[in-house]
Amino acid sequence: MKRDSGAQLRVGVLGAGAIGCFVGGRLAADGADVILVGRPALADEICTHGLALTDLHGPDTRLPSSAVQVATDVSALTDRDVVLVAVKSPDTAAAGGSLAPHVRARDTLVVSLQNGVRNADVLREALPGATVLAAMVTFNVTRPAPGTFRRATSGPIALERHARAGALVAALEHAGIPTLARRDIRAVLWSKLLFNLNNAINALAGVPLRDELADRRYRRIFAACMREGIATTRAARIRLARIGRLVPALASRLLPWPDAIVLRLASSMLEVDPQARSSMWDDLERRRATEIDWLNGEVVRLGREHGVRTPVNERIIALVREAERNASGSPRLDAAALTARIYGAKNVSDVPSGSGSGAADES
């Protein structure tokens, strides 16, 4: 991906949903040549409303439809220097297969901007010879209105360190998206996955993230999920990494603490828009398949491989699958109801504070 200094970076986004439109839109607003590839509904939405990008701290950016290139076929990405893959994890293999005829293996850099820990590997299998890098978007993006995409939590993009990634890192930084090149990307992916175990809890609760995390009863479930995840990664000798100020082992111990203490600590570590919800909540509301197998399912899979019990994550998976089958959106389980569905306890005080796996330190 060698280009003259000052040359315009040609970027394609495959799977232009919330993350893809926000990242691609910010790059386009900053002067990059960006093509968004998504469903016909996205093309219609942007044709009608343009693209509005908002942030926790601003500035807000608005692009008219004439300034946004949207395509519905992956062949539009043939001449790209960088392709950002932002499809849902269940669609990764198909996305890689559709992209294969259009990627110049020696010239195109492919980057996975997806949840989960194995998507880059899946893309490498589909794109032999191409440079495929893993990345993790640590912030949340919501869609508060048609054509509008809002960064609703703080955090950077963590990108696998590679000699060919310099131009992309520079472009993201210049577009106002903090980006960190990390050698320990596998540790970053697993750490983010442990924090993403809350996505399912938020989807089942159906309330804003801030409200959910303000309730100790929900947090105790989240902590139990994390403890199981930490125990499985430790058994598998998978290192975990600090993400900004977020440390998985510390978070799993602090989450069950009283509300006032946790909220004070959390506000210094992570900013959250009052209306932000998880992407899995959005999937349930839109009657789409979720990424539960690529989040909580990874913990269960790893636990089975290494003889670590993961009962809380298993129950969470069962509840999300039930919600998918019902196709009625979030079941909106309050904290007491969710506790009962997971533990069979009518009152959170009946649930042992160490439910799930015992707390484990990072290796």
From the list 189, 203, 213, 67, the residue with the least C-alpha distance to 134 is: 189
What is the model's pLDDT at position 260? 84
312: CB partners within 8 A, 6+ apart: 221, 224, 225, 228, 342, 355, 356
pLDDT digits (tens, 9 = 90+) for 311-356: 999 999 999 999 999 999 999 999 999 999 999 855 544 455 554 4
What is the model's pLDDT at position 276? 87
What is the model's pLDDT at position 351? 53
pTM, rounded to two decimals: 0.88
What is the model's pLDDT at position 362? 35
What is the model's pLDDT at position 243? 82
Domains, the chain, ordered by start: 10-183 (3.40.50.720), 188-350 (1.10.1040.10)
What is the model's pLDDT at position 34? 97
Give me the amino acid identity at 89. S
Q: Percentage of the chain with pLDDT > 70? A: 91
> Strand 179-182 to strand 157-160: parallel, antiparallel, or no bridges (unpaired)?
parallel
Which segments in the chain show pLDDT lower than 70?
Answer: 1-7, 266-270, 345-363
From the list 259, 261, 239, 260, the residue with the least C-alpha distance to 249 is: 239
Q: Do residues 192 and 298 touch, judged by C-beta distance below 8 A? A: no
What is the model's pLDDT at position 261? 85
40, exposed or middle or buried, with CB in 10 Å at 0-12, 13-18, 19+?
exposed
Q: Do residues 95 and 84 touch, judged by C-beta distance below 8 A? A: no
